[in-house]
Amino acid sequence: MELKTKIQSATKDAMKAKDPARLSTLRLISAAIKDREIAARTGEGEAPGLSDADLVAILSKMVKQRQESARAYEEGGRLELAEKENAEILVIEEFLPRKMSAEETQAALDEVLASLGATSVRDMGRVMAELKTRYAGQMDFGAVGQMVKERLL
């Protein structure tokens, strides 16, 4: 099932279940998708829909924003707001692909390095771009960036 369809279906289920917290988060997801669709439109007619990769990028960005907000709330002693952000993260992550294990990440990195023929730090940008294209939402690119750097030095 297409990711956007899954989100719409989950929204309907949350309405039927009268789950306000989940419904609120799902509506935030839908609004973010709608905003991106509007931004993607050209002046003429209807623009093609967003791909699942685009939706994964939107959801990943939403998770990252909420993680930063939760951290700020915790530092400020606003634990109830941090809990709300963490609850939203759990709902959003339901629609993201499964995170790769350390072994899977290493294998993916090996594959990309071999396919691109990357040998020096100058190739790091190309490697990271390819990893983000292939594995969006499946790995922590902050940690992977460090792994790439170590491998290319």
Assigned CATH class of 102-152: mainly alpha
CATH fold match for the domains 3-93 and 102-152: no
Evaluate if pTM is beyond 0.85: no
pLDDT in tens, 30-48: 999 999 988 887 655 555 6
Whether the per-residue pLDDT at 77 is higher than 60: the answer is: yes
**Which CATH number is 3-93 given?**
1.10.1510.10
Q: Are 148 and 109 in contact (CB under 8 A)?
A: yes
pLDDT 10s digits, 121-143: 888 899 998 888 888 778 888 88
Name the band, by pLDDT with cuts 50, 70 and 90, for residue 1: low
Residue 25 reports pLDDT greater than 90: yes
- Least confident piece of the model among 6-10, 69-73, 85-89, 121-125: 121-125
Q: Which of 95, 6, 90, 94 is nearest to 56 (CA)?
A: 95
Q: Any idea where the domains of the chain sit in the sequence?
A: 3-93, 102-152
Secondary structure of residue 46 in the 3-state scheme: coil
Q: Provide the pLDDT for residue 53.
A: 79
Dihedral-angle region of residue 18 (phi above 0 means left; psi in -120 to 50 means alpha; beta otherwise)? left
Residue 44: both structure tokens together: 């003429």
Q: Looking at per-residue confidence, does 49 or 7 come out higher?
A: 7
